[in-house]
Amino acid sequence: MTSRRRLTLLAVTIAAAPLILGGCTAERDPANGSAKDHSAGPDLAVTPADKARDVPVSAEVGTAVKGGRVTGVRLTDDKGKQVGAEPRDDGSGWVPTASLQPRRTYTAEVTATGDSGATTTRTTTFTTMAKSTKPQITSTLYFVGNRTYGTAMPVTVAFDPAIPKEARADVQRRLFVKTNPPQPGAWSWLEDGSQVYYRAPDFWKPGTTISVRAGLEGLPIGKDRVGDAERTATSKIGRQLSLEVDNATKQMTVLRDGKQIRRIPVSLGKPSTPSSSGKMVIMEKHERTTFDTRGDPNGGYVVDVDDAQRYTWGGEFIHSAPWSEGDQGNTNVSHGCANVSATAADWLMGVTQVGDLITVKGTEVELQPGNGWTAWNVSWDEFVRGSALPVPAGLKPAPVAPAHPGAVAGGSPAPAPSVSGR
């Protein structure tokens, strides 16, 4: 199967360092040589422009200040109701917490305070456009609210059709992630623009709360399409657990907090249908499901399986395979899946979570980008090269690698070389 995919805006004080231009002595007006009046407020520009019409419902209140900082913002609709929003980290504007409504008029009042304490206030009134009739790009947020995920869980957004390269920065600016406690990360696009991943340099710390918003409704994307919807979710990160599968030994090592808690014999993909080597993430868990490979080149069977855990879109699962228990630990006979005994599969279902890392090594083929949530299958340096926006230079992995790369939260892994289960 292929992937388819507040500061309520009222007067508030914004905690941000003031932008200071020039020294502390009086400046000279270059036109007449007189001392510049420091009692004047700072220069402040606000967008959208006053009386602007046909403004996208994805609009933000943008600000540009010289000689001061924004200290108050108030946004109201045409019924006088205050509209909630949150400031951007870089101070460039305020993002409404939900898309604006079509064919409505909004007024933004922004105040900036200069270094001398003098203030400048600008007001802009603008009207949003009618609901767009342009085709929408469908987005899918693979991060569900009120769940507990494993420490390798990336935030994944998929797009259909894919986002063209020239539009990715605009889309990325409308994707927001907050973590508590703070653990900043970055976004990275697949080369074809079909998926974008968010992760931190190191695995999430257990107990972290992650809140995600994909504010894409009505966002102009390229020349002829718009974003489809607002999507939000908040979930937590649970305990650390990872799986390491070695084709040389035909064994799966289960680690909790970096310590081995069990070894399980496996049978991987036979040479004609090899398993993928790389760093993958458990994406789905099914107590019982049906594998139907009749549409695959090497398929042609339908089988019900128990305790199946997907880790690639191409159909690789860990699952119960009582028919191959005699081969597990010594011979690869599967169609690409990691076959384990019924007892082991049942036990694994009880200890794993979506978002747990599974590393497979030593097979005939390497994991392809996008075949699953492949955010951890590259180094951090390679990952950030996929961002459409600048990434802070100081955002780096922890300097000390863990005993088991990719197994312990707080460490960064080294790069690793049809919807049917196989």
- DSSP 8-state class, residue 166: G
- Predicted confidence (pLDDT) at residue 256 exceeds the cutoff of 80: yes
Residue 302 is predicted with a pLDDT of 86
Q: In sequence order, what are the residues at sequence separation of 6 or more whose Cβ sits closer than 8 angstroms to the Cβ of residue 26?
A: 35, 36, 38
- Predicted confidence (pLDDT) at residue 164 exceeds the cutoff of 80: yes
Active site residues: 319, 337
Average pLDDT, the chain: 87
Q: What is the spatial distance between Cα 27 and Cα 24, in angstroms, rounded to a whole number?
A: 9
Q: At residue 273, what is the residue type? A: T
- DSSP 8-state class, residue 165: G
- Predicted confidence (pLDDT) at residue 37 exceeds the cutoff of 50: no
Q: What is the spatial distance between Cα 31 and Cα 257, in angstroms, rounded to a whole number?
A: 68
Mean pLDDT of 267-288: 97
Residue 232 is predicted with a pLDDT of 97
Q: What is the spatial distance between Cα 176 and Cα 163, in angstroms, rounded to a whole number?
A: 17
- 300 φψ region: left (φ > 0), alpha (ψ -120 to 50), beta (else): left
Q: What is the spatial distance between Cα 173 and Cα 366, in angstroms, rounded to a whole number?
A: 32
Q: What is the spatial distance between Cα 320 and Cα 316, in angstroms, rounded to a whole number?
A: 13
- Predicted confidence (pLDDT) at residue 313 exceeds the cutoff of 70: yes
Encoded tokens for 98: 């939900």
pLDDT in tens, 118-141: 999 999 999 999 999 999 999 999
Q: What is the spatial distance between Cα 110 and Cα 61, in angstroms, rounded to a whole number?
A: 9
Q: Which DSSP string do the residues of 352-373 spell out, in sequence order?
A: --TT-EEEEES-SEEPPTTSS-
Torsion angle, CA of 365/368/374/375, rounded to 10 degrees? 110
pLDDT bin (cut points 50, 70, 90) of residue 228 is: very high
Which range, of 20-24, 57-61, 173-177, 183-187, averages the lowest pLDDT?
20-24
- Predicted confidence (pLDDT) at residue 206 exceeds the cutoff of 50: yes
Encoded tokens for 264: 């399980």
Q: What is the spatial distance between Cα 353 and Cα 153, in angstroms, rounded to a whole number?
A: 9
Residue 125 is predicted with a pLDDT of 98
Mean pLDDT of 312-333: 97
Which range, of 21-25, 94-98, 318-322, 403-407, averages the lowest pLDDT?
21-25
Q: At residue 117, what is the residue type? A: G
Q: At residue 120, what is the residue type? A: T
- Tokens 């949530």 correspond to 373
Q: What is the spatial distance between Cα 409 and Cα 239, in angstroms, rounded to a whole number?
A: 9
Mean pLDDT of 164-172: 98
Mean pLDDT of 412-419: 41
- Predicted confidence (pLDDT) at residue 210 exceeds the cutoff of 60: yes
Q: Which DSSP string do the residues of 47-68 spell out, in sequence order?
A: ESPTTEEEE-TT--EEEEEESE
The pTM (predicted TM-score) of the whole model is 0.84
pLDDT bin (cut points 50, 70, 90) of residue 91 is: confident
Q: What is the spatial distance between Cα 412 and Cα 380, in angstroms, rounded to a whole number?
A: 8
- Predicted confidence (pLDDT) at residue 406 exceeds the cutoff of 60: no
pLDDT in tens, 372-385: 999 999 999 999 99
More confident residue, 162 or 415: 162
Strand order in the sheet with 68-77: 52-55, 119-128, 105-114, 68-77
Cα separations (Å) of 57 from 98, 102, 153?
Answer: 9, 6, 31
Q: Kindly report the CA angle at 223 between 96 and 127, in degrees rounded to 5?
A: 40
Q: In sequence order, what are the residues at sequence separation of 6 or more whose Cβ sits closer than 8 angstroms to the Cβ of residue 153?
A: 143, 204, 237, 281, 354, 355
Q: What share of the chain is helix, strand, coil (3-state, %, to 5)?
A: 5, 40, 55
- Predicted confidence (pLDDT) at residue 192 exceeds the cutoff of 90: yes
Element (H, E) at 160: strand 155-160
3-state secondary structure 295-349: CCCCCCCEEEEEEEEECCCCCCEEEECHHHCCCCCCCCCECCCEEECHHHHHHHH
